[in-house]
Structures are given as structure tokens and as C-alpha cells.
């Protein structure tokens, strides 16, 4: 394999999570006896540019085109820290980077939930490779192109709509193998005074908190700010602002803004984050190796908590059939022996089964007949909303297990 930033071919192994299925490929009951595809899930670090990345890439068509993609932004709790983080993004783009009539293009726009908020008196256009989520976006009235965002698509958009004042994407660029093709599309379509923005999983937060829930086959890369400085400069862009958000959980998301103006003043928070990465030696082999070791220790702690509860005769159900949770359970060795069922608010997931472990996914209302002693919250960035919502469960004596082994 070659590093997807610099093309280097030498790597250090960081974290081996064994073989895993595609986490969003929930299974219909009729297909439970069919052989499932699993793939190596191993994080490595490039010895040249330090990018943390998977060493096995699953063809994106298997994730976004060959099956219905089951993640819809609009199904997420709108009062969660995840959605609140994007409300601030909408304000930033409107107040500081666009004017009436400007074109805003979102890469990986999903069902148009975030992009739709940017409309007002701006023109908007989404681009997403998953046809089923594009159908939902169009139904919302959000114009969306069903295609991967690459240079040919960018040229087509440019011809029809003109240059874009703002182009960006949230939590989609880690899903792309050839990041340079995407950036070629960005520079093709971006106006000379335009702004590129991105929100990505942040390697710094993952290392600091020994967080491995973001490691799954859909996520090809795990970025530091320095990684993105290198990517942008290769395509004639200079990052002028960057900071860590709480969208994915504590310290786990990096938001950045870049332009063609290399003399644009850098914000204090950008300079502070650059200095912090150097001070903590984030982009070193030592930090990566410590991360891998730490993740395995965290997984052992979680397994010990769950195993103890099961030994005591307690029942446990998963709350949210989320990709993050499946990765946590995989490394911890927690499976159908420990989890009775998952509840999920998304109708697209209900009535299906988790890959490999075949744990049923049901609607929350259907769990009332057999409430567990503990709900395992699979998506830490929604924990506050879930716990607030489930106070009736708490009053009945119910408790929660979090991904970091905390029991509430």
C-alpha cells in the first residue's frame, strides 16, 4: 500500500483490531445464514508524513453504492452536542465567509440536514455518493448530486452553477481513499476568494483519550492538523483557522478553514493547536505506539465491567446500533453473549441484525416489555441526550455503561 497523503510505502503498525465487517451493513433476517464478508481492521502510521490510516481499504462501492447507507444525519438527536456543533458551523459560514447569492457546496452532504440550514439567501448544493440518502435530501428540498466529489463532478458543477464561495464537508473526508482527487475537485470549483472547510476525526483527541470507537472500515484516515496543513499546501491552499470541537465527543473532531490567500492572518487558536501538536509530539511513532497499547488496555477494562455484570446475572442491551459502538465491542470481545439486543430510533435500522454477532435491532418502544438492567450507550457523543431522555428508565433502577467503562 501507499500512504494516501505522501505516497510512502513504509509504515508502523499501531492497532490491530482483527477482522471486522462493514459496520453499517446491518443484516435482514432472511440473510442471517448467508456468508458475511469481513476484512482486516489494522491502523498503521506512515513513517514519512505520520498519517494514521487503515492498511486495508474496502472498495467504497461496497459501502456507499452496493447497499443502502444506513446513517442519516436527520435521524440524529437534534439537541445533541453533535448537532449543536454544526449550528455554530452554519453561523460561521453565513457571518464570515458568504454573502447573499453565494454558492455553498457540501461534500458528503448526506440527507441535507446541515446544508439545508445554510440556505436562507444563499445557493446550496450537496454532493453525496449514496443514492438512498440523496433521495431523502431531495425530498427535503436540498438540491443534491448523487456522485463522489471528484474533479469531473466539480467541473460539471462549475459549468452549471458557477464557482463556489464555500466548499467543505463534515465527517466524510476520512471515508475517502484518494484524498488528493477530492482536493483537485475543491480547487477546480472554489472561487479565487473562496473558503474550503473540513471537519474530520482528530488524531490528537484519539491519542489523548485512548479512543478507538472511531476506528472502523469506513474510516480510512485519522488526521492531525499537521496532516491537513500538508494536504492543503499540496493543493495551493493555506489553513488560516483550526480548532477542536466536541462534535464526536471530547476532543475528537478537528474543524479547519483554508483559502488561496497565503498571507491571510492565522488565528490564535490555529497557532495554539500547531504548537500543542509539537509539544505533545503527536506526530511521532512513540505517540502512535502508546495509543495502540492504551486502546487495548481500555478494551480490557470495558470487558471486565461487562463480564462482571453478566456474572452477577444482569441484563444488558445496546443503545444505538452505531458504528462507533460496534468497534468498541469488537476490540473488547463483547458480543451476543453479553448484549441481548440494540435499540435504535432510526426506522432504517429497526428489524435488522448486527453483522457477525446477529444481535437484533429494535425500536425503543419495543424494549419496554423487557427492559434491561443496563443500557450500553454506543455513541458517546449522544450520551448526554440519551441519559436525559431516559429518566423514566433511571427511576426504575436502570443504569448506563459508557464506552470508557464508566457506569452511571
Q: Where are the domains of the chain?
A: 73-286, 304-401
Residue 127 backbone phi and psi in degrees, to 5: -135, 120
Q: Which residues of 235-268 are buried (b: 16+ CB within 10 A; e: fewer)?
A: bebebbbbbbbebbbebbbbbbbbbbeeeeeeee
* C-beta separation of 101 from 166 below 8 A: no
Residue-wise pLDDT for 357-393, tens only, equals 999 999 999 999 999 999 999 988 788 889 999 999 9
* C-beta separation of 128 from 171 below 8 A: no
Is residue 61 very low, low, confident or very high in pLDDT (cuts 50, 70, 90)? low
Residue-wise pLDDT for 90-133, tens only, equals 999 999 999 999 999 999 999 999 999 999 899 999 999 988 89
* C-beta separation of 215 from 245 below 8 A: no
Say whether 304-401 and 73-286 share the same fold. Answer: yes
Three cell numbers written together for 377: 450507550
Three cell numbers written together for 325: 459502538
Q: Regarding the domain delimited by 304-401, which CATH topology (the fold level of the hierarchy) does it fall under?
A: Rossmann fold (3.40.50)
Distance CA(316)–CA(398), nearest Å, equals 10
Residue-wise pLDDT for 326-357, tens only, equals 899 999 999 999 999 999 998 989 999 999 99
Residue-wise pLDDT for 176-220, tens only, equals 999 999 999 999 999 999 999 999 999 999 999 999 999 999 899
Nearest to 29 by CA among 347, 350, 368: 350
Residues 6+ away with beta carbon under 8 Å from 270: 239, 240, 241, 242, 243, 256
Asked whether the CA dihedral 267, 269, 274, 278 is positive or negative, the reply is positive
Three cell numbers written together for 163: 464557482
**Torsion angle of alpha carbons 283, 286, 287, 288, nearest 10°?**
90
Q: What CATH number has the domain spanning 73-286?
A: 3.40.50.150
3-state DSSP call for residue 25? coil
Distance CA(360)–CA(343), nearest Å, equals 8
Q: Say how many residues make up the chain.
A: 408
Is residue 87 very low, low, confident or very high in pLDDT (cuts 50, 70, 90)? confident
Strand partners, 319: 343, 377
Distance CA(392)–CA(157), nearest Å, equals 50
Nearest to 238 by CA among 224, 225, 220: 225
Number of H helices, E strands in the chain: 13, 16
DSSP 346: -
Asked whether the CA dihedral 230, 231, 233, 237 is positive or negative, the reply is negative
Residues 6+ away with beta carbon under 8 Å from 135: none
Is residue 66 very low, low, confident or very high in pLDDT (cuts 50, 70, 90)? very low
Residue-wise pLDDT for 13-50, tens only, equals 999 999 998 877 899 999 999 998 899 999 999 999 99
Nearest to 340 by CA among 360, 326, 324, 320: 360
* C-beta separation of 150 from 181 below 8 A: yes
Residue-wise pLDDT for 272-288, tens only, equals 999 999 999 999 999 99
* C-beta separation of 174 from 222 below 8 A: yes
Judged against a pLDDT cut of 70, whether residue 82 lies above it is answered with no
Amino acid at each position: 500500500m501507499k500512504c494516501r497523503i505522501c505516497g510512502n510505502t513504509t509504515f508502523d503498525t499501531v492497532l490491530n483490531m482483527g477482522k471486522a465487517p462493514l459496520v453499517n451493513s446491518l443484516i435482514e433476517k432472511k440473510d442471517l445464514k448467508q456468508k458475511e464478508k469481513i476484512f482486516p481492521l489494522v491502523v498503521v502510521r506512515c513513517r514519512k508524513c505520520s498519517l494514521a490510516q487503515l492498511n486495508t481499504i474496502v472498495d467504497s462501492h461496497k459501502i456507499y453504492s452496493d447497499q443502502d447507507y444506513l446513517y442519516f444525519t436527520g435521524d440524529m438527536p437534534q439537541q445533541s452536542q453533535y448537532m449543536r456543533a454544526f449550528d455554530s458551523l452554519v453561523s460561521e459560514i453565513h457571518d464570515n465567509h458568504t454573502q447573499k447569492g453565494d454558492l455553498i457546496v457540501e461534500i458528503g452532504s448526506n440527507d441535507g440536514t446541515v446544508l439545508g440550514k445554510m440556505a436562507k439567501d444563499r445557493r446550496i448544493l450537496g454532493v453525496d455518493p449514496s443514492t438512498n440518502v440523496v433521495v431523502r435530501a431531495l425530498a427535503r428540498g436540498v438540491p443534491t448530486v448523487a456522485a463522489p466529489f471528484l474533479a469531473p463532478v466539480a467541473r460539471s458543477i462549475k459549468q452549471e452553477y458557477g464557482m463556489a464561495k464555500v466548499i467543505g464537508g463534515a465527517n466524510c473526508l476520512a471515508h475517502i481513499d484518494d484524498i488528493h482527487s477530492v482536493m483537485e475537485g475543491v480547487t477546480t470549483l472554489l472561487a479565487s476568494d473562496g473558503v474550503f472547510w473540513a471537519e474530520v476525526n482528530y488524531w490528537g483527541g484519539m491519542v489523548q483519550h485512548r479512543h478507538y470507537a472511531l476506528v472502523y472500515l469506513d474510516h480510512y484516515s485519522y488526521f492531525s492538523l499537521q496532516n491537513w496543513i500538508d494536504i492543503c499546501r499540496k493543493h495551493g491552499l493555506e489553513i488560516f483557522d483550526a480548532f477542536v470541537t466536541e462534535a464526536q465527543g471530547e476532543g475528537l473532531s478537528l474543524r479547519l478553514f483554508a483559502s488561496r490567500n497565503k498571507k491571510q492572518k492565522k488565528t490564535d487558536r490555529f497557532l495554539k493547536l500547531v504548537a500543542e501538536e509539537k509539544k505533545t509530539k503527536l506526530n511521532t511513532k512513540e505517540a502512535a505506539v502508546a495509543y495502540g497499547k492504551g486502546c487495548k488496555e481500555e478494551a480490557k477494562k470495558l470487558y471486565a465491567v461487562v463480564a462482571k455484570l453478566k456474572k452477577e446475572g444482569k441484563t444488558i442491551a445496546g443503545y444505538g446500533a452505531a458504528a462507533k459502538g460496534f468497534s468498541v465491542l469488537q476490540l473488547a470481545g463483547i458480543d451476543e453473549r453479553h448484549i441481548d439486543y440494540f435499540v435504535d430510533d432510526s426506522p432504517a435500522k429497526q428489524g435488522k441484525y448486527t453483522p457477525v454477532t446477529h444481535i437484533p435491532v429494535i425500536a425503543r418502544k419495543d424494549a419496554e416489555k423487557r427492559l434491561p438492567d443496563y443500557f450500553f450507550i454506543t455513541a458517546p457523543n449522544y450520551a448526554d441526550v440519551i441519559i436525559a431522555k431516559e429518566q423514566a428508565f433511571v427511576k426504575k433502577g436502570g443504569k448506563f455503561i459508557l464506552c470508557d467503562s464508566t457506569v452511571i
